[in-house]
């Protein structure tokens, strides 16, 4: 059963979709196909939320020029590894980090350092996730 009723909520239509356009471009630059896959998956259950993700997450925040994409993904990988409760998103961002130029060794350094701030389990689970991501990319020839 679809939840099409959601997009019929009386929400004022914005005549300015620049946030969405900018966001989608940013999403593609960082996450490639994986990003569109998440948006599609979310859109299947909550279309408005997929839109917010693109507009606010990428149109408003990620496209801000005050911090480079390498630094952004380093920060996100660190935060998600430390929180330890968002494994799917951590993998998305491990890939995103590699996509924007963070090296595999740099990623491992970030994860190892999380042992100091969130403990060894958080760091270990992050390293195991990185291993899976690296192996998948190797298998796909990336």
**Which parts of 18-77 interact with a second copy (CB under 8 A)?**
18-19, 22, 38, 41-42, 44-46, 48-49, 52-53, 56-57, 60-67, 70-72, 74-77
Closest Cα partner for 110 from 99, 98, 57, 85?
98
- Closer Cβ to a second copy, 32 or 71, answer by number: 71
Q: Is residue 104 near a second copy by the rule CB under 8 A?
A: yes
- Closer Cβ to a second copy, 34 or 108, answer by number: 108
| Cβ at position 32, least distance to a second copy in Å | 18
Closest Cα partner for 59 from 37, 95, 29, 87?
29
Say how many residues touch a second copy, by CB under 8 A: 79
Q: Is residue 101 near a second copy by the rule CB under 8 A?
A: no
| Cβ at position 86, least distance to a second copy in Å | 4
Site string for a second copy, 115-134 (x = CB under 8 A): xxxxxxxxxxx-xx-xx--x
């Amino acid at each position: 059963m679809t939840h099409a009723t959601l997009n019929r909520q009386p929400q004022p239509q914005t005549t300015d979709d620049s946030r969405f356009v900018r966001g989608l471009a940013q999403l593609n630059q960082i996450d490639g196909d994986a990003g569109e896959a998440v948006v599609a998956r979310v859109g299947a259950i909550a279309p408005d939320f997929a839109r917010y993700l693109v507009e606010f997450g990428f149109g408003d925040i990620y496209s801000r020029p005050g911090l480079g994409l390498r630094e952004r993904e380093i920060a996100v990988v660190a935060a998600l590894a430390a929180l330890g409760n968002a494994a799917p998103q951590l993998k998305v961002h491990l890939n995103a980090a590699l996509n924007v130029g963070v090296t595999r060794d740099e990623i491992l350094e970030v994860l190892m350092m999380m042992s100091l701030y969130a403990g060894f389990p958080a760091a270990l689970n992050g390293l195991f996730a990185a291993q899976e991501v690296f192996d998948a990319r190797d298998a796909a020839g990336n």
